[in-house]
Structure 1
Amino acid sequence: MIEEDVMTLPLSGELDVGTQAATSARIARALDTAPRFLVLDLRDVDFLGSAGLSVLIETQRAAAARNISVCLVATRRATMLPLELTGLTTMFPVFASPEEAARSARAQREQAGVVPGIGADMRQ
C-alpha cells in the first residue's frame, strides 16, 4: 500500500531461513518502486529468526543506497525481543502502527522542506 511517498509492506508468518529468499524478493520489489519511506509492518510475524534479522539489515543497506528511509511496525514479543536483543531498534525506528509510522514520515518530509514529486523546497 502506498500513501503519498510512504509505502507500507505487510509481512506475516515466520521470517526465517525458509522464507528468507521470498521475503528478500518482496522487499526488493518494494524498493524498486522508489518510495521515500518504506514501512515494514511486522505485526503479523510469528517468528523472527536470524535469517529474518539479516533480511532487515540488508534491506536497510539497500534502502540507504537509494536514499529510502526504512522503519518497522512491531508490537509483538515475537518481533520486539529479537530486535531489542540484537540492537536493531537503534538501526530502525519502530512504531506501533503503520499510521504512526506514516505520520512520522510526513513530519520528517515537512521538516526537510520536501514537496512530494518536486524535491527540495527552493524557497530562500
Structure 2
Amino acid sequence: MREETGVPEPAATLASVRVDEPADGVVVLHVSGELDTSSADELARPLKSTLTEGLRAVVVDLLQVRFLGSAGLEALVTGSKRAQELGVPLLLVASGRAVLRPIQATGLTAVFTIVETVDEALVKV
C-alpha cells in the first residue's frame, strides 16, 4: 500500500516473457508467472511478432509458469496455428503439473510437441 494515500499499489504484471535467439533462425520465448485472462497477452504479443517466415523453429519455455489458464492455452493454440501456416515448428517446454495438466485436460497434447528441457527442444530443431 502507498503509505501517503492508503491506496493499494497497482497489480504487478502476472507474466513476463524474455526472448532469446540461441541459434540462427531459432527463437526461444522464456515465459514466467501466471498466464490467465489478464496476462495472456504477455505471451500472445511476442509469440505473434516472433512467428515469421524463414524461422527454423520457435520454442516456448513454460518451465517457470505457475498457472496456465484458458486464455494462456488460447494464446498457445493461436501461436501453434500461425506456426503451422508458416511451416515453422513450435515446441513447448513443460514439465510441471501447473502447465501439463491443463494441456492434458483439454486434449491439446495431440496439438503440441512437448519436451522437458530447452536443450531437448534445441536438439529437435
Provide the TM-score with structure 2 as the length reference: 0.78
| CA positional deviation for 1:93 | 1.0
The residue number in structure 2 matching 1:88 is 108
Question: Given that residues 53 and 88 in structure 2 are in contact (C-alpha distance below 8 angstroms), is that contact kept between their aligned partners in structure 1?
Answer: no
User: 1:19 is matched with which residue: 33, 36, 39?
Assistant: 39
- The answer for unaligned runs of 5 or more in structure 2 is 1-19
User: 1:67 is matched with which residue: 87, 91, 99?
Assistant: 87
Q: Where do residues 1-124 of structure 1 align in structure 2 (5 Å cutoff)?
A: 1-2=20-21, 3-32=23-52, 34-105=54-125
- The one of the two structures with greater contact order (alpha-carbon pairs below 8 A, sep at least 6) is 1
Structure 2: distance between partners of 1:85 and 1:52: 14
Q: SS at 2:112's partner residue?
A: coil
| CA positional deviation for 1:33 | 7.2
Structure possessing the higher radius of gyration over alpha carbons: 2
* Off by >6 Å, runs of 4+ in structure 1: none
Q: SS at 2:51's partner residue?
A: helix
Instruction: Name the one with the larger helix percent.
Output: 1
Structure 1: distance between partners of 2:115 and 2:75: 19
Q: Percent identity?
A: 33
- The answer for unaligned runs of 5 or more in structure 1 is 106-124
Q: SS at 2:90's partner residue?
A: strand
Provide the TM-score with structure 1 as the length reference: 0.79
Superposition RMSD in Å = 1.4
Structure 2: distance between partners of 1:20 and 1:80: 17
**Which stretch of the first structure deviates more once superposed, 17-26 or 32-41?**
32-41
| CA positional deviation for 1:61 | 0.9
Give the count of matched residue pairs: 105
The one-letter amino acid of 1:20's match is: A
The one-letter amino acid of 1:89's match is: T
